[in-house]
Amino acid sequence: MKLNTGSLLLGVKEYSFVEDTGTVGLDERFTGDVAVLARVEKTQKLIELQATIRVTAKLICDRCAEEIEKIIQTKYRIVYFFSEDDRGGYPVEEIVVLPSENTVIDISDDVRQFIELTIPLKVLCGDECKGLCQICGTNLNLNTCSCTDTYIDPRWEQLNKLLNQN
């Protein structure tokens, strides 16, 4: 995923990249290709890149442990300046100063990092996921079990004993 800044003309241009997840450096949670749509605007002083990323991830549901495929979409912006003196008005984390006006920008690392930041901390196969039975491990989305009918939480059992004593 490379942009040759020297050969870019002034103005706005759109690029699309499609690359294998492994090539971009993503781990085995990701499958297929990473698609990046990059809007690149070049002025005398800078190149502003706005990238929209799309990739498929295989994630494990926190409740039922089933593997699910989720499409991860994210976007980011980075502004590449030709000179240290010109930067201004942009958040520091979005700024890169290029070593020269004629250079090759490889966006693969940024793409990988922004994808990794987008992975949700909590993964659910669906809002309605019933999860696994705490006792027998049955996936309650697929089956039912009779555990909950007879099972008494040990904490309640203790409490019941105390109540019966009085």
Q: Which parts of this chain interact with Zn ion (CB under 5 A)? A: 61, 63-64, 125, 129, 133, 135-136, 138, 145, 147
CA distance linking residue 145 with residue 84, whole number of Å:
66
Residue 146 CB, nearest distance to Zn ion (Å)?
A: 7
Residue 133 CB, nearest distance to Zn ion (Å)?
A: 3
Residue 123 CB, nearest distance to Zn ion (Å)?
A: 8
CB-based contact 86:24 (threshold 8 Å): no
CA distance linking residue 49 with residue 15, whole number of Å:
10
Tokens of 142: 């697929």
Q: Which is nearer to Zn ion, 63 or 87 (CB)?
A: 63
**88-127 b/e (C-beta count within 10 Å ≥ 16 → b):** eeeeeeebeebeeeeeebebbebbbebbeeeeeeeeebee
Q: Which is nearer to Zn ion, 97 or 123 (CB)?
A: 123
CB-based contact 62:98 (threshold 8 Å): no
Q: Which is nearer to Zn ion, 96 or 147 (CB)?
A: 147
Residue 63 CB, nearest distance to Zn ion (Å)?
A: 5
Q: Which is nearer to Zn ion, 43 or 148 (CB)?
A: 148
